[in-house]
Amino acid sequence: MSTVKKTLTPLPRQQRRRDVVENDEFAAFTRRIIRAHGRRVATGDVEALRDLVALSANLDQAITDAVIGLRAFGYSWAEIGSRLGISRQAAQQRWGDRP
């Protein structure tokens, strides 16, 4: 009788997710928080300005992580570019050199 270790058994390739996940409310909530942070800085909270600018770098990293994840999930550059309103080539040039 042979024993197979689960850690050595390859997992089946994940099926691509085709259903649309509605997250409009979450995105709207995020936008409201960022705008509120900007208003707070504008009322004299100069110490929070650095944090507000840092959000830009965090957002860029989150987009990069999302694109890398979508590519690993099987989405094409054309599909990603289409969702972003840019060409396939532009998407691949911006995020294609990432591991």
pLDDT digits (tens, 9 = 90+) for 38-89: 999 999 999 999 999 999 999 999 999 999 999 999 999 999 999 999 999 9
Q: Is residue 10 scored above 60 in pLDDT?
A: no
pLDDT digits (tens, 9 = 90+) for 69-79: 999 999 999 99
88 vs 4 pLDDT, higher one: 88
Yes or no: say if 59 and 37 are a contact pair by the CB < 8 Å rule.
no
List Cα–Cα distances, 62 to 18, 55, 99, in angstroms.
21, 10, 15
